[in-house]
């Protein structure tokens, strides 16, 4: 599912001491050098499922695949109603109906670049590699057609409450954990 054209080639997350322009100028310059077309946001991170099954090794690819999802605010919802549907109502559904071993909700606080698309959230989820090609694995229902159908139904009903499917970007990718120091 994509709405941004051209689509993103990569997503980079950074934890910085400050989001103020002067303090992040050196990092912005490095990113601009590597990717002349880029956007940046300040986000508030909430880890719903921490990756304890396939802990990343610095510089190595995390097991399975990562799905990054950027969400726009549906015109039919106020920001508060949208956030309630996503974080209070949907979180348990996402955990209960999928095989994700990492689930992080990033609430967009504000754009940091002048041309950043108007997203309200970025979701990070990691799944087993088999989930990329097998819906039954993705929906935590391998070998159980009835559970697959029910998990799909529950997930789609929940997503329809807070996602504008005309304003969503869902990017399957790999995750690499690169950090010069421990968090």
Q: pLDDT tens across 129-138, in order?
A: 999 999 999 9
Cα(183)–Cα(181) distance, rounded to whole angstroms? 7
Are β-strands 102-111 and 65-72 bridged in parallel, bridged antiparallel, or unpaired?
unpaired
Domains and CATH numbers, the chain: 21-173 (3.30.70.100)
Helix (H) or strand (E) holding 82: helix 79-83
Query: pLDDT at residue 103 above 90?
Result: yes
Query: pLDDT at residue 165 above 50?
Result: yes
Helix (H) or strand (E) holding 107: strand 102-111
Query: pLDDT at residue 125 above 90?
Result: yes
Q: Could you tell me the CA-to-CA distances from 17 to 20, 27, 42, 105 in Å, in that order?
A: 9, 12, 12, 20
Could you tell me the pTM of the whole model? 0.88
Asked if 18 contacts 70 with a C-beta cutoff of 8 angstroms, the reply is no
Residues 6+ apart with CB under 8 A from 73: 79, 82, 118, 120, 164, 167
């Amino acid at each position: 599912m994509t709405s941004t054209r051209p689509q993103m080639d990569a997503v980079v997350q950074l934890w910085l001491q400050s989001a103020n322009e002067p303090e992040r100028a050196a990092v912005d310059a490095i990113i601009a050098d590597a990717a002349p077309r880029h956007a940046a946001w300040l986000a508030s991170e909430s880890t719903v499922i921490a990756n304890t099954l396939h802990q990343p090794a610095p510089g190595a690819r995390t097991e399975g695949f990562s799905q990054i999802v950027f969400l726009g605010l549906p015109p039919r919802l106020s920001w508060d109603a949208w956030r309630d549907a996503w974080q209070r109502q949907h979180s348990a559904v996402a955990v209960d109906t999928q095989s994700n071993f990492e689930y992080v909700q990033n609430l967009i606080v504000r754009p940091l670049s002048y041309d950043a698309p108007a997203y309200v959230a970025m979701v990070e989820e990691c799944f087993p590699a088999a989930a990329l090609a097998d819906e039954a694995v993705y929906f935590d229902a391998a070998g159980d057609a009835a559970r697959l159908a029910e998990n799909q139904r529950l997930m789609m009903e929940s997503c329809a409450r807070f996602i504008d499917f005309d304003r969503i970007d869902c990017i399957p990718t790999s995750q690499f954990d690169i950090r010069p120091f421990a968090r």
